[in-house]
Amino acid sequence: MPELPEVETVRRGLAPAITGAKITRVLLRRKNLRKPFPRAMKKRLEGLEVLSVSRRAKYLLVGLAGDNVLIWHLGMSGQVRIYKKGEKVPPPEKHDHVQIDLSNGVVLVYTDPRRFGLMDLAVLSDIENHPLFKNIGPEPLVRGFTGAVLVKRLKGRKTEIKLALMDQKIVAGVGNIYASEALFKASISPKRRAGTISLAKANALVREIKAILKRAIKAGGSTLKDHRTTDGGLGYFQHSFAVYDKEGEPCPGCDCNVGRTGGIKRIVQGGRATFYCPRRQR
């Protein structure tokens, strides 16, 4: 599933390709993805200029003339391909559900085999009140997201910190892998009750969340450079995980005797795998 860094990578690929161009044609090859397309979507989009491409949590927001916005979620398996002016667009394949043509010759093709993606039209200036966004927590990468803010949002919560970090109402877009990795770097046990995290620990955790997301975005960006397409699956920095998917291995920087301690431990929280070092994370 595309996480925040992957969606940000897609955003960075899309923004320069479509900003300033007008949508000239929209082709919908079915009536719905996860939900039906908004009523008269084709008619409402055609003719509008793209003014911005931003992101909120794991949603792309294509800002359009007249205070309109196309809300676009890539679901579990969605990919956006960008064809530049003059590039041949191949005949649609089975899972190419949406095509958007722009006045600068760019063509976007949205492919989504599992159809968990979503498109909706809304009012850009009122986006924070949209049902999808009104209960979503702060963006992790903004300056205003600090340890103090996190402590406040975790106050009184008895849930385990790993689950709290993945709760979109507390903070937006920190997925399973990034929650495990940030907790390891901040030496916090994923099982700690969220409400017991001190300000010092929260400061460390916020610092690590930002660092890890930025690193992932950078990795996605460098992958993107070598491809002409924008691909929702790009950008996981598999090779630099410290603990994720490393059950039984020694954790980096730890002198654990793996034969004695068992190394990195795997547990399941809220149905998702967590990896951590029980000796270093308290």
- Cβ neighbours, 10 Å, residue 77: 17
**114 or 279: CB nearest Zn ion:** 279
Select which of 215, 266, 272, 280 is catalytic: 272
**71 or 251: CB nearest Zn ion:** 251
Q: Under the criterion CB under 5 A, does residue 247 sit at the interface with Zn ion?
A: no
CA distances (Å), 171 to each of 44, 140, 149, 259, in order? 33, 6, 10, 38
Near Zn ion by CB under 5 A, which window of 6-14, 95-103, 163-171, 251-259?
Answer: 251-259
Q: Known catalytic residue: 2?
A: yes
Q: Known catalytic residue: 58?
A: yes
The dihedral region occupied by 40, where left means phi > 0, alpha psi between -120 and 50, and beta the remainder, is left
Q: Known catalytic residue: 272?
A: yes
Q: Under the criterion CB under 5 A, does residue 273 sit at the interface with Zn ion?
A: no
Gap between the Cα atoms of 142 and 144, Å rounded: 5
Q: Under the criterion CB under 5 A, does residue 254 sit at the interface with Zn ion?
A: yes
Write down the number of H helices and E strands in the chain: 7, 10
DSSP structure class, residue 130: S
**82 or 251: CB nearest Zn ion:** 251
| Residue 87 near residue 34, CB atoms below 8 Å | no
**252 or 270: CB nearest Zn ion:** 252
Gap between the Cα atoms of 64 and 153, Å rounded: 33
According to CB under 5 A, which one of 64, 174, 277, 281 is a site residue for Zn ion? 277
Side-chain-side CA neighbours of residue 234 (13 Å): 25
According to CB under 5 A, which one of 1, 27, 121, 256 is a site residue for Zn ion? 256
Question: What is the contact mask toward Zn ion in residues 202 to 241, using x (rule: CB under 5 A)?
Answer: ----------------------------------------
Q: Under the criterion CB under 5 A, does residue 1 sit at the interface with Zn ion?
A: no
Gap between the Cα atoms of 258 and 199, Å rounded: 32
Q: Under the criterion CB under 5 A, does residue 278 sit at the interface with Zn ion?
A: no
Contact positions toward Zn ion, by CB under 5 A?
Answer: 251, 254, 256, 277, 279-280
